[in-house]
A and B are shown apart, each in its own frame.
Chain A
Amino acid sequence: MSALRLISNRTSQQALSNSDYTWEYEYYEYGPVSFEGLKAHKYSIVIGFWVGLAVFVIFMFFVLTLLTKTGAPHQENTESSEKRFRMNSFVADFGRPLESERVFSRQIAEESRSLFHFCINEVEHLDKAQQSQKGPDLESNIHIQEVSRSSGTLEEDLNCLTKFNIPNFVNTERNSSLGEDDLLISEPPRVLESKMAMQSSHRILD
């Protein structure tokens, strides 16, 4: 760094026996660094720094996995009832009857695929997973990925969402023209948004 160079220049001006030498010795121009009488190993800072860094990264990893573990999945009984409850609340929010959980889970899959630009890599796996009522994100890797489906598939399923302009980057031209209008209509978004957010977050981090 020029910081070191400037310091060395100043100190080297006192020792002008050979200007070529003083430039090269810039790290060692700080006066003779005596290595006698060292209590600890001479590379102790290096070792301590790297060990500390490794410990910090591992600690961070364990904190994150602990966050995972505290969110352990529920039992199967409570799970299905939860899903039904969720579906009902979904229905109540949008005032549109959803025929079955299958439709609901398929909608979630559609939403997640078409509404977020952070999508799961194995979309096909998700479809299959949806059939068995698994969460759409359980076999996902985190991949930054454009949405491959248009929001048209979503429009078929949910009337309320036909005008939403969720990030759909394949059809940006079409969506951008609808940008302003969409959000005027989108007033169910409060509940929907939180659900969307949850799905997309799970995709990003998986």
Chain B
Amino acid sequence: MSTETPSNLIKHAGQTSIPSLENITDFSLNITDCNQVVVPEEVFFTVAAAGILENLLVLVAVIRNKNLHLPMYFFICSLAISDMLGSLYKTLENIFIILCKMGYLTRRGDFEKKLDDAMDSMFILSLLGSIFSLLAIAADRYITIFYALRYHNIMTLQRALVILAIIWTFCAGSSIAIALFSHEVATVIPFTILFPLMMFFILCLYIHMFLLARSHAKKIASLPTSAVHQRTNMKGAITLTIFLGVFLCCWAPFVLHILLARFCPHNPYCACYMSIFHVNGTLIMCNAIIDPMIFAFRSPELRSTFKKMFCCARYNRNW
């Protein structure tokens, strides 16, 4: 996806060829109406690097600590991997653009086109992986609550790994198919329908869990603690809202961008929305940073593993 700022490239290209100045002036009036909103490359790379590092930490911690070899943590790892892929994609894309600007890569070569296709499919893989990982985490929690005593038999480690393998195979296949056939209208529609469907399903799972928690709280709450009771149920509502709100706010802008680019590229309103594409991309990378905080770092075991890792590193450095 070469989404370079036209203004930069106009300057770059303007130096090389004069007859096309008319093109510049023709478009300049329209372009200045809704300029591409530029996110500085430093911000891009910082956010992307932070996302990659954080998720890598989560992966390393889960791999190193045997206590964390559980289905629940494997699903969290899957989410971390998909977040990492998203940030990696953005980093590679920026590097790609920089190399193009410096002239090391041509814009129309076959290799670059294939690279671009590969990166697009990596991005779609990341999105689909995120959605399905969130679904798996919600389903895992659902089974933990509603089938508590049989949880160990329902969700064995092997089954969790099989589920993850199926999810990732499906995501990889779909992403390659979508990237290859992206010019067909038919691919965009299922892609954008999948997104709200999954969100709705996850929301239903969590609401059902929430209702059960509420009915349980009703049974054992006592008056002196009624204020506390309200507060803790409020916390449940806040937690759920954060889970789903973060995902929605980070991914929905981009999905809308895809829809608009497909269906109304000529409309000035749509064009103005599409001009904030870089901000949408940065939001996706912010999602990669926030997800470990609301899923992985809530676990004290994982946090203690981090502390051990850093303390050991410090200890080794001292000696």
Residue ranges of A at the interface with B (Cβ–Cβ < 8 Å): 1-7, 17-21, 23-28, 30-35, 38, 40, 42-46, 49, 53, 56-57, 60-61, 64-65, 67-76, 79-80, 82-83, 86, 115-118, 121, 129, 132-146, 164-167, 169-170, 172, 175-176, 179-180, 182-183, 186, 189, 192-193, 196-206
Contact = CB atoms under 8 A, between A and B. Distances in A.
Secondary structure dominating the interface of A: helix
B316 to A, nearest CB: 27
Given A53-B248, A76-B222, A35 B10 contact: no
A138 B222 CA distance: 10
A183 B153 contact: yes
B314 interface: no
4 shortest interchain CB distances as A-B pairs: A198-B216, A205-B236, A64-B237, A73-B221
Given A1-B258, A206-B235, A31 B188 contact: no
Contacts of A141: 235
A194 B270 CA distance: 51
Nearest to A147: B301
B245 A201 contact: no
B268 A2 contact: no
B298 interface: yes
A68 B26 CA distance: 59
Given A35-B30, A68-B236, A198-B215, A40 B300 contact: no
Interface size range on B against A: 35 or more
Contacts of A165: 152
Given A76-B222, A175-B152, A35 B241 contact: no
A34 B30 CA distance: 6
B249 interface: yes
Contacts of B70: 117, 146, 169, 172
A134 B231 CA distance: 14
Interface of B: 1-4, 6, 9-10, 13, 16-17, 19-20, 23, 26-27, 30-31, 33-34, 36, 67-70, 72, 107-108, 116-117, 120, 141, 144-153, 179, 182-183, 188, 203, 206-207, 209-226, 228-230, 232-241, 244-245, 248-249, 252-253, 256, 258, 260-262, 265-276, 295, 298-301
Contacts of B212: 197-198, 201-202
B228 A117 contact: no
A98 to B, nearest CB: 15
Given A7-B265, A133-B222, A175-B152, A64 B236 contact: yes
Contacts of B218: 71-74
